[in-house]
Each structure stands twice: as C-alpha cells, then as structure tokens.
Amino acid sequence: MKGVIVVAFMIAIALMGGCGIVLANPPLVPPVQYEQFCEAQKVSGTGIIDVSTSIIDKKIALEYYNTMAGDGDLELDSEHAYSQDAEKLMRNVSSVNGGDKSGLNLYETTKLTYAGETPLTGGKYLHSKAFYGGIGADVQEMFSVNEMEKDETAFFASTTPYQPMANVSPEDLIKMLKEAGRNTEEVEYLMTASNDIYVPSHLIGLETKNSFNGTWGTDAKWHKIFYKDIKAHEMFTGTFEAEKTIKFHENPVPDKIQAPCDGIDC
C-alpha cells in the first residue's frame, strides 16, 4: 500500500511540474501556416433535418461538436468560423472584452425556429482540452424539443496574437507575459495584436436566448487535477424561456506556486 501511495505522489509531482509548480497555462502559439474554416447558411422549409459539424484541432486545444436531427418546420440562420490565427476572426461578443471586437479561434452563431411532432434532438459541445495545452474547461448544451426559438453564440480562444502589439514574436511573448505577472494593463497590452484587436486567450463560453417546449439544458465544468473542480448543471422539461451566459476565462500568465519541497533536494 505504501508503494502505491509513493507512486501516486510521484505521478502527481510530475503532472504539476515537480517542485516548480506552474498552475496557469500560457497561451498557445499559433502556427506559422495557420488554417481556417468558414460555413454560413440560411435554410427554411419542412421535412427531415440532419445537421452535424465537428472541429478538432490539437494545435489550439480545441474540441467542438454540434448536431441536431428532427422532422418538422425549420428556419435556420447559422455561421461557423474557425481560424488558428485569432486576428483573422474578429467578432463582437457581449460578455467578452466589454462587447468590443475580439480575436477568436472559433465563433459559432445560430438563429433557429422549429416546430414539429417529431422532437428536434441535438446538442453542442465545446472543450478546451488540457492534454493539448488548453485549460480543461468544457461547455455542453442538450435538447429534445417539439418547439424552439433560439438565438445563440458559442466562442473559443486559446492563442497569442499572431502579430503582437509589442512587436515581438508570439514565442517571445510567452516570456514577457510571465514577467508582466500581476500588471494587468501590461498583460492586456501584450495580448493585443498590432491591428489593435484584443485576443482573450484561454476563453470558452456560450450565450443563449431561447424559448422551448420540451427538454433543454446545459452542463459546464472546469477541472484541474488536485486544484480545481467547477461544475454547473441545469435541465428543464416543459415550456420555458431561458437567457443564459456561461464563460470560462483564465489569465494567460503562468502562476508559480510554492511547493512543499521547495528549498530541499527532492
């Protein structure tokens, strides 16, 4: 039993970076040869509905799935925009940067009206995957409804500016963020691109306004091994109106924590 405990402790120390523990993740550096994906559509009609979109990108720690299926009357106006270079994807999100334009890695918006005897069933999943350098937070939406009107926005960011205002490379910017520490004005300046667009690294969230007849709910969680466990769950069945914002955001400055073994040879 003692050996198991020792092994578990050694694994924990390895996961936390040894005695120089660093909790917060620095923002990810966008690749030089960045990639993009855009999709916009307007659909109106009656019949069978089968819609599915997934975006997985290990370079920016992004995992995203969006599906729905049903049989009824549908009006849909939606957009998917994804860019490894956040400066190429500038959008206004009311709960981000005071509602001013921000540089995002993923932006999705859906305006939807549905009515049918067959429930419209689906869900949305947005994850900043810790294994690939994200913050380990995810947001999920689930629904099965006979009637729904929805206006929704999902957003995600994880990278540094492609061309920082500080006139340095994104790689050097990571070191400067560490030196900036608690100087929030300096951090905000460093995370602003040369075109004066703020890039809110390590951000994941969902804004929604909807009314529905059926079942609708959300799950959100943020977990860091041994340090953090945040969970929020809601599920409603019946006839409801809902307005909701879920947002996780981490300051992109690495945070060194005093370890128990600090100062000794461990």
Q: What is the DSSP letter of 11?
A: H
In a shared domain, residues 98 and 170: yes
In a shared domain, residues 265 and 141: no
In a shared domain, residues 138 and 177: yes
Tokens of 173: 């910017």
d(CA 182, CA 263): 24
Strands (E) across 9-105 are located at 21-22, 36-57, 62-83, 90-92, 101-103
C-beta of residue 217 within 8 angstroms of C-beta of residue 110: no
Tokens of 211: 């009314």
In a shared domain, residues 121 and 94: yes
Quick: pLDDT tens for 104-145: 999 999 999 999 999 999 999 999 999 999 999 999 999 999
The predicted model gives 145-172 an average pLDDT of 94
Q: What is the pLDDT of residue 227?
A: 84
d(CA 235, CA 36): 34
- Residue span of the structural domain in which 263 resides: 1-24+253-266
In a shared domain, residues 62 and 170: yes
Total domains in the fold of the chain: 2
Q: Compare 204 and 11 and report the one with higher pLDDT.
A: 204
Element (H, E) at 13: helix 2-15
Share the mean pLDDT of the chain: 89
The predicted model gives 148-161 an average pLDDT of 97
